[in-house]
């Protein structure tokens, strides 16, 4: 019987099927490259949607285009590092926790799960970009309305983590929710430290 590959789009509309597929057929490279590509695309669109006063504040560079490109390159590099390190770090943490409680789970399965869940980070970036366009490139009014969507998606991601841990590792419901809560709280704290509203 041919194994069914998990889908990033399916993660939004049928997460249960995707989590089950990840357990038997965990993919890493393809979904990660797609997530990284979408992240870079949205960073570019967001950067060129921002008003120059937001980026440079009171400092007016001599070469506005080059200064903006320098800002863009920095944003792309930093966001790409974060989008790779986050699922990698959580996979290592939860893989260790699974070994402590003697569960048979592979690091690759957890890494794949967190990569697929990262599609919701992309959705947050899309929502922020839409609101930024609506506000004429000024983010002052972005954070309050975005915070609600961000919080809803953050809670949904926590549910998916608990759900995924139960499906992939066969851990108890109590343990999976405990670890998902750790994920939720640590993601919020990390998000605050990074000064971003995408979790």
- How many whole angstroms separate alpha carbon 105 and alpha carbon 137? 45
Mean pLDDT of 119-138: 78
Q: Are 118 and 156 in contact (CB under 8 A)?
A: no
Counting residues of the chain whose pLDDT is more than 70, the rounded percentage is 81
User: Nearest to residue 93, comparing CAs of 161, 46, 23, 35?
Assistant: 161
Inter-axis angle of helices 143-169 and 119-134, nearest 10: 170
pTM score, whole prediction:
0.86
Q: What DSSP element (H or E) covers 73?
A: helix 64-100
For the chain, give every domain's residue range.
18-194
Report pLDDT for 1. Answer: 44
Report pLDDT for 197. Answer: 42
Mean pLDDT of 3-27: 92
Report pLDDT for 29. Answer: 95
pLDDT tens figures, 132-163: 777 665 555 545 556 677 788 889 999 999 99
- Of the pLDDT bands very low, low, confident and very high (cuts 50, 70, 90), residue 125 is confident
pLDDT at 113 > cutoff 90: yes
């Amino acid at each position: 019987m041919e194994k069914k590959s998990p889908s990033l789009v399916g993660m939004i509309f049928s997460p249960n099927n995707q989590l089950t597929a990840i357990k038997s057929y965990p993919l890493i490279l393809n979904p990660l490259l797609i997530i990284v590509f979408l992240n870079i695309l949205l960073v570019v669109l967001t950067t060129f949607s921002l008003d120059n006063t937001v980026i440079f504040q009171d400092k007016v560079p001599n070469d506005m285009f080059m200064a903006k490109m320098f800002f863009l390159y920095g944003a792309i590099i930093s966001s790409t590092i974060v989008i790779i390190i986050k699922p990698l770090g959580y996979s290592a943490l939860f893989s260790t926790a699974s070994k402590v409680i003697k569960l048979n789970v592979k690091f690759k399965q957890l890494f794949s799960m967190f990569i697929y869940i990262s599609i919701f980070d992309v959705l947050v970036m899309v929502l922020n970009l839409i609101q930024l366009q609506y506000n004429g490139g000024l983010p002052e009014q972005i954070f309050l309305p975005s915070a609600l969507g961000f919080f809803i998606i953050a809670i949904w991601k926590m549910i998916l983590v608990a759900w995924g841990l139960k499906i992939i590792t066969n851990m108890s419901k109590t343990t999976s929710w405990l670890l998902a809560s750790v994920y939720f709280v640590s993601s919020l704290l990390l998000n605050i430290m990074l000064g971003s509203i995408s979790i």
